[in-house]
Amino acid sequence: MHIEDEHGPLYFDLNTGAKIPSIGLGTWKAAPGVVGQAVIAAVKAGYRHIDCARVYDNEKEIGVALKELFSTGIVKRDEMWITSKLWCSDHAPEDVSKALSKSLEDLQLDYVDLYLIHWPFRTKPGSRGFDPEVIEPLCLKETWSTMEGLYASGRARAIGVSNFSTKKLQDLLTYAKVTPAVNQVECHPVWQQPNLHRLCKSTNVHLSAYSPLGSPGSWVKGEILKEPILIEIAEKLNKSPAQIALKWGIQSGHSILPKSVNELRIKENFSLFDWSIPPELFSNFSNIHQQRLLRGDFAVHQTRSPYKSLEELWDGEI
C-alpha cells in the first residue's frame, strides 16, 4: 500500500507473526460514561487497536461498545486488536488465569490479542492501591511462566510486559521460554528511551508507547506539547504539536497509544499517514531535554518494596 510505504507503517510486525496496528486508543483515565463512545468514535475514525487494562475500571463499558461495533457490522472481531493487562494484585500463578478470564468476560471476548504484565511489582491478592502493607515479594518468573500458559491456550494471542526497564527486560529474556512480544512503556519526545529501543530492536521485542503526548490533564506532570522544538516543527509542517509528537513515535519505529475522549482529537491523532517529518527536522528531536514523567513513586518503599529507590525501579533510567 503506497501510503504505508511512504509515510510510515499502519502496522508493525510482532515476533508472533501478528501485526499490531501502529496507533491504538489509550483508555487510561477515560471515565465510565464516556469511554464507550470514545471507542466507537475511534473505530469509526479508523482505529483498529484499543488498549485496555483491568485496573482502569472501564473494561465492562468497552466490552459493550465492542459488542455494538461487531453486531452492527462496523468492524469484525478479527480486524480489531485488543490489549489488556494483568494487575499487580494478580501476579500469583493461581490468579493469573482468573484475571484474564475476568477481563475477557468484561470485554465480551473469547481472546485478547495481547496480554501484558502491567508493572514489575506485586501486591496482595484482592488489594487496591499501593499501601506498604499490601506490597508482596516479586514472583516474576512464576508469573511469566503462567502467562506463557495463557499464550499456549490461545486466550492471549500474544504476551508481553509493561513498564520494564532495559535491565528488567534483559533479565526476563534469560528465563522466558516465550519471548515477550511487546514492552509497553512511557515514550514520547521528552522521554525517548534510546537504550530500551536498542534492546527491543536487537531482541525482536516491539516497543509500544503509552502517554505519547505526556498525559496532559492527568496527575502525570509535564508539558510535552509546549516543548519549543515540537511547536517549531509543527508550525513548519502546518500540523498540531500533538500530531508531531505522535508522528515522531511512528517514525521512530514504535506503536503509539494516544488517549482522548474528544471526537475531534481522536480523529486528529489518527491523521498521520499522508505526511512525514523530513530528516532535517526529525534530527532536532535529539536536542530536547529528557525526563521521565510517570515516575512510579508508589512502587518505592524502604522496607516493604523490592525497590528502595526510583533508581532501583528503573535501573538508573530516570
**Contact between residue 189 and residue 227 where contact means Cβ atoms under 8 Å apart:** yes
Give the span between the Cα atoms of 317 and 165, in whole angstroms: 7
The single residue listed with the C-alpha cell 481522536 is 266
Of 56, 151, 210, 307, the catalytic one is 56
**Contact between residue 9 and residue 250 where contact means Cβ atoms under 8 Å apart:** yes
Classify the phi-psi angles of 33: left when phi > 0, otherwise alpha if psi is within -120 to 50, otherwise beta. Answer: left
Three cell numbers written together for 167: 535491565
Residues near 246 by beta carbon (within 8 Å), at least 6 away in sequence? 23, 212, 213, 256, 258, 269, 272
Three cell numbers written together for 234: 509543527
Three cell numbers written together for 67: 459488542
**Contact between residue 314 and residue 212 where contact means Cβ atoms under 8 Å apart:** no
In the chain, which residue ranges form alpha helices assigned H by DSSP? 2-7, 35-45, 59-71, 93-107, 140-153, 166-175, 194-203, 228-237, 241-252, 263-270, 279-282, 310-314
Q: Is 11 annotated in the active site? A: no
Rounded to whole angstroms, what are the CA distances from 13 to 162, 201, 207, 212?
18, 12, 11, 20
> Cα angle vertex 117, ends 112, 120, to 5°?
175
Three cell numbers written together for 17: 507473526
Give the span between the Cα atoms of 139 and 159, in whole angstroms: 17
- Between β-strands 11-13 and 19-21, what pairing exists: parallel, antiparallel or unpaired? antiparallel
Helical (H) or strand (E) element with 210: strand 206-210
Q: How far apart are the first and last CA of the chain?
A: 39
What residues are annotated to the active site?
56
